[in-house]
Chain A
Amino acid sequence: MIEQRRNHRRLFFRHFGSAVGGYCLLPGAAAQQRSTRAGVKNVVFVFLSGGISQVDTFDLKVGPWTPRNFDPTHFRGIHFPRGLLPVLSEALDDIVLIRSVRSWAEEHSLARQWLQIGRNPATPDARLSPHIGSVIASELAPQNPNAPLPAYVCLNAVAGSIPGEGFLPAANAPFLVSQTKGDGLRIAMHPEGKERYSRRAALLARLATPGPSTPLIEEDAVYQKSARSLIFNAAIDAAFTVAPAERVRYGDSPFGNACAVARNLLTRKLGPRFIQINFGDWDHHGNIYAPGALDAGNPKSLARQLDSGLGSLIADLKASGALNETLVIAIGEFGRTAGPLTPAQGRDHALLQSALVAGGGVRGGRALGSTDDTGARIRDAGWRRDREIRHEDLEATIYWALGIDWTKAIVNPEMGGRYFYVPGSDRQEYTPVQDLWV
């Protein structure tokens, strides 16, 4: 479907001033809905695309199928595969493993979208819903007004595969960086080199056409200016450069590189407030313990890549004092079947899933919620609502932690109705999982 009208509306709102102008802000119970947690400034959202197997990782259930080298270990009541995730096991004091999350859909495309926009994408109301990161970008002032990068950055995403800013202004669109190789921000480097780029840029400036313009040309001039500020920008280049030793420590993988880059972007305050890192494919319908997948013995396996990258990120943020102000969440679109493997030696889709949360001042060193011995059913939801935790609750949690009024509703110009940051917040249908901090 061609959504060309969207830009027309965006122009309309832009002409009337700020990103907020033109929207009707409908009052939520604002004051008490803002977080009393001071200091959470940023979010790192690790999207485990494909659906990571929770019974092999964050909600370990040992059975005859469990490889020996997983080294199942008890850490203060947390059963954890120390062999598969050794670095993360050292960071468990800072980690909460949420084991009572239930996805809404077992189909990849639907569930992925649901998780990232925080509502059912198949309903007409969800038309052009923004990514959670875009809502955050629209709400938070930039940390540094001269920062070269926008508030919402997505690393290692396949362009077009993640929801964008939806009906929100274009400034809240994700800045997508494909494969981080750790050798700078490639697209910000001119292939013919610095000197020729300078010559070309100077020529372009001399060719600028005076006279009548269109709003479109003016818009793109702004984008071009922003692009030029990134090109051969030393601070950006350094942030996207991961030295060899560090690359190895982070797991020597695109995911690891992205984690190191995320750390740099946040600690050097280069603009981003919400960094998404896409990492997959965890859709192990077959051969789940094969060398490339969940193999403790292979440092290059997907699981060990996750461990080295995410574990190092958490450790480094902690060491630099930034962990308390950075909420880290790692989650897939759904979980996988528990118990024995399928005939294909894998695990299929399941709604029940786990999430890993760290930073942002959460009280770590525990699991929140629990499942029964099989891992297929929730035994204890683990929080004040006493029901399974939904993606919408996690969405509310993120907004709340950042000090955003999660009960807010704005006008959705596409549907003419209200867009609730968290669906049903007027009925308290979903709420922040404040228990993470208690």
Chain B
Amino acid sequence: MSTLRLAVGMVLFALAAQAQPGGASSNFIDEEIQAASKRVTWKRVNGEGANIKPAPPSTDAEYLRRVYLDLTGRIPTAGEVRSFLASSSSSKRAETVDRLLESEWFSDRWAQWFADLGRVSHNVQRGYTGRNAFYNWIRNAVRGRMPLSDLAAGMVASQGNNYDEAVGAVNFTLVQIPSGPPQDLADAIFARTASTFLGMGHYDCLLCHDGRGHMDSLSLWGSRSTRLDAWRMAAFFTRIGYQRVNTSNSYFDSNVVSDSSSGEYRLNTGYGNRPARAPIGGVATVQPAYGTMRDTPKTENWRREFAQRMVRDPMFARNFANRLWLQMMGTALVEPVDALDPDRLDPAKPPPAPWELQASHPRLLEKLAARLVETNFDLRGFLRLITQSSAYQLSSGYNGAARSEGDRLYVRHRARRMEAEAIHDAVAIATGVLPGYRIRTTAGYLPERLHWANQFPGPMSGDEMEPPEAEFFEAFFPGDRNLQPRSEAGSTRQQLYLMNSAFVNSRLRVETSPVLQRVASLKKNEDVAAELFLTFLSRPPGPLELAAAVESLKKAGREKRNEAIEDLAWACINKPEFIVNP
């Protein structure tokens, strides 16, 4: 019986894969995903004979909203939805992707993604001007198609004044840590670098103690690695130095980041953020040496030497492949994304039992990483590749039979709540009422106001974003890029804000919202309903929805028509799907 269901399931899946409008070619992504699915025995879940049925392909409406949000962080306008749905071109999905990849909005959204990764925020060392310079450097890099290897190397090895946009990446190394010996600073910068760009957050553990006895069930590589191994990597960051600028000009309070030509990582500390460092077997100074090959630097610029090796490290490509995959697909191939285990990722070298390969799809991860390397870490090409797969284009809807383990098999696309920035901007786009935020610099404010959350340089301070905007925004957990992580969790509070906040309700006025004004000018109630659904929910109303909407408009009569339109708009915002990336 279950074999039959399995067979049926696979047939449905295969059909789903082929029935793509726009002719998405089955590429290696789909091959690997289907191969993995075939190996799984569908289990009975909770006593029900529930099989995991693959989802059908996404509808055009579902797809458009998803790809707009994934690539540009904003929902499409009603006009954009309408023309996409109306088009009969078989290549319309691919063309839409191409257009979005070239847009300014793409640079905004992905600058934000890299700003999350690089932890772009204000702190005492950076100041607001440093935060802004860091953000602008990233945005220019994304816009200018900088290879991700150069982007990462820039953050790790830049030198210069942290207020200068040209070297804004230097702010990555201005990590605020409680005071301790210089080795603590080297450790902190290295640990952040390893986690961010190699996906190897376990180095942070190793900087305190050997892996054995601590990581034996967490990481095969970790359990075999020692504190000395970690020090050899951290040593590359020993020579970094900061010089605060006190001249009373626009550089006041900036920091110049440079590297001296001397300095050693000594094992001679007894205080600070890490356990004492004492000589080991006669070794009192640790020379920088990269990885298992213990590759030593050839020049004095140790950070640059580290960066050069880092971008050639297989973990570098795997890390980006995994993180970018997570962002587009909603489920990573290796979780957590900063706990990659180098000894369990190569399918050609499987680990000894009881260890298993770490990735859910080990060959897929390797192929994605290889594609990044082959294309010189081209972001747009990589994202395009993912959007072309059938897996990406599956619907996220399910009829109750799907279970969460289906997520890891990619039998449907995983719907997610939109990020705070996207929700904020969706309300602004859909009503046409734009906020204007003043952006701090260290000395004052930038002359121009910002309208879009997708362009925020970093977590906004109380001077930049006041209640009620701040409260609405924060309810969706953007995180502070420091101790509070970004979260896609829901909450009762979010629902209260969607229903009652001034941020939303002040924008739902026909007199002041350009979008609602245009809607109100439509004579037919059916058109009003359709336009509102397309605007807020990126789809036309279903027949029951249309009937209910039209009835409510009719009941309002001529005098109360505008009010009824506002009510309908409010209802669209409060349908659960408004804050969803499908």
Contact = CB atoms under 8 A, between A and B. Distances in A.
Interface in A1-41: 1-8, 10-12, 15
A226 B486 CA distance: 23
B407 to A, nearest CB: 7
Contacts of A213: 397-398, 400
Which of A15, A216, A414 has the most chain B CB within a 10 Å cutoff?
A: A216
Nearest to B326: A4
A214 B396 contact: yes
B577 A231 contact: no
Interface string B555-579: 0000000010001101100111101
Contacts of B477: 160, 164
B49 to A, nearest CB: 17
Interface stretch (A51-59, A184-192, A250-258, A397-405): A184-192
Interface in B492-523: 492-497, 499-502, 505-506
A187 B488 contact: no
A147 interface: no
Interface stretch (B29-37, B348-356, B468-476): B468-476
Interface in B133-185: 176-178
B218 A417 contact: yes
A170 B491 contact: yes
Interface in A256-287: none
Nearest to A148: B492
Interface stretch (A67-75, A121-129, A373-381): A121-129
B336 A5 contact: yes
Contact of B467 (A178, A204, A214, A416): A178
Interface magnitude class on chain B: 35 or more
A248 interface: no
B492 A223 contact: yes
B549 A207 contact: yes
B499 A216 contact: no
A221 interface: yes
Contacts of A203: 548, 552, 567-568, 571
A197 B580 CA distance: 23
A159 B204 CA distance: 29
Contacts, number: 209
Interface in A144-175: 150, 158-161, 163-164, 170, 173, 175
B495 A226 contact: yes
B567 A223 contact: no
Contacts of A191: 500, 502, 505-506
A435 interface: no
B201 interface: yes
Interface in A99-126: 105-107, 109-110, 113, 121-124
A173 B489 contact: yes
B338 interface: yes
A3 B545 contact: no
A150 B492 contact: yes
B102 interface: no
Nearest to A160: B474
Contacts of A77: none
Contact of A209 (B417, B505, B542): B542
Nearest to A6: B487
Contacts of B229: none
B479 A204 contact: no
B490 A160 contact: no
A230 B492 contact: yes
A220 interface: yes
Contacts of A200: 567, 570-571, 574
Interface stretch (B6-14, B327-335, B380-388): B327-335
A175 B488 contact: no
Interface string A220-255: 110110111011000000000000000000000000
B332 A199 contact: no
A415 B542 CA distance: 44
A414 B331 CA distance: 15
Contacts of B330: 4, 8
A5 B335 contact: yes
A384 interface: no
Contacts of A219: 490
A217 interface: yes
B415 interface: yes
A213 to B, nearest CB: 7
A315 interface: no
Nearest to B462: A158
B407 A214 contact: no
B544 A210 contact: yes
B3 interface: no
B496 A209 contact: no
Interface string B394-433: 0011111001100100000011110000000000000000
A170 B490 contact: yes
A359 to B, nearest CB: 28
Contacts of A427: none
Nearest to B482: A109
B119 interface: yes
A224 B500 CA distance: 12
B279 interface: no
B83 interface: no
A161 B471 CA distance: 12
Contacts of A5: 326, 331-332, 335-337
A12 B404 contact: yes
Contacts of B545: 207, 209
A106 to B, nearest CB: 8
Interface in B206-252: 208, 217-218
Nearest to A126: B483
Interface in B106-125: 113, 116-117, 119
A176 interface: yes
A196 interface: yes
A158 B506 CA distance: 22
Contact of A6 (B119, B218, B417, B489): B489
Contacts of B570: 200, 204
A223 B337 contact: no
B495 A3 contact: no
Contact of A223 (B335, B482, B494, B500): B494
B116 A1 contact: yes
Contacts of A121: 483
A158 to B, nearest CB: 8
Nearest to B399: A212
B576 A220 contact: yes
A414 B336 contact: yes
A160 B338 CA distance: 23
A204 B578 CA distance: 13
B262 to A, nearest CB: 29
Contact of A227 (B177, B400, B492, B563): B492
Contact of A217 (B481, B488, B499, B576): B576
Nearest to A185: B496
Given A4-B488, A231-B500, A107 B471 contact: no
A85 B493 CA distance: 35
Given A191-B505, A200-B567, A164 B499 contact: no
Contacts of A122: 177-178, 273
Contact of A161 (B176, B204, B484): B484
Among B195, B396, B490: residue with most chain A CB under 10 A: B490
Instruction: Give 3 nearest A-B pairs by CB, closest first.
Output: A159-B474, A227-B495, A3-B485
20 contacts: A1-B195, A2-B116, A8-B407, A12-B404, A15-B403, A128-B485, A159-B471, A161-B484, A173-B489, A187-B497, A191-B502, A199-B567, A200-B567, A210-B544, A212-B397, A217-B415, A217-B576, A223-B495, A224-B495, A227-B496
Interface of A: 1-8, 10-12, 15, 105-107, 109-110, 113, 121-124, 128, 150, 158-161, 163-164, 170, 173, 175-176, 178-179, 187-192, 196-197, 199-200, 203-204, 206-210, 212-217, 219-221, 223-224, 226-228, 230-231, 414-417
Given A4-B488, A10-B489, A200-B567, 6 more contacts: A122-B178, A175-B493, A188-B500, A190-B505, A191-B506, A417-B218
